[in-house]
Structure 1
């Protein structure tokens, strides 16, 4: 289980790194072509890769903490980690979409 948690953690880090590199390359190409909205698209793509990577990191923490050695101290540390990452996910989602996750998109709200 420890190995599975580490592999999932490594996948989360890889997703963040590869997603950021791909977003940077795409932004550079769009910038050279002088296309509009480069900054906003770049922020959205980097934010999405961070969100997906955070999900994998939380899953790895859960596997390592609960499945390997479930003590009160380790579960407490896990709770703090999950709270911090949840806050980061909410704030990143707000930055990417411009609305809270529980709010409907603008197209649905106008109907």
Structure 2
């Protein structure tokens, strides 16, 4: 495989990883700032805390999607080996479990259950 192509794919993978990290960091910062404002406005701390956790969780979920995409780009696009695909599969399984766990916690329901007020 051409070295220039491999370098380009590696650079794109790193850029996507960087975007994922930036999304998590900026999302955490934005959720924290919103939490600070909400604790002044909302009479109940619990409501502000729940909104904070949801905002932070959404940022983490989106960032994880970018991190998985970066891993896929770097692993599959440049001469995949059985070992590298196996490592990628393990990373995807762990991150998928984290995403699933966060989604359940944020929505307070399993993904295949209808939202409150929705018909099945």
Q: TM range, normalised to the smaller chain?
A: over 0.9
Match of 1:41 among 19, 34, 51: 51
Unaligned runs of 5+ in 1: none
TM-score if structure 2 supplies the norm length? 0.87
The CA distance in 1 between the partners of 2:60 and 2:96, in whole Å, is 12
TM-superposed CA distance for 1:102, in Å, is: 1.5
The CA distance in 2 between the partners of 1:103 and 1:77, in whole Å, is 32
Unaligned runs of 5+ in 2: 1-8
Do residues 67 (structure 1) and 77 (structure 2) align? yes
TM-score if structure 1 supplies the norm length? 0.94
Could you list the runs of 4 or more consecutive aligned residues of structure 1 that deviate by over 6 angstroms after TM superposition? none
Which sits farther off after the overlay, 16-25 or 32-41?
Answer: 32-41
Count residues in correspondence.
110
The CA distance in 1 between the partners of 2:55 and 2:73, in whole Å, is 28
TM-superposed CA distance for 1:35, in Å, is: 4.0
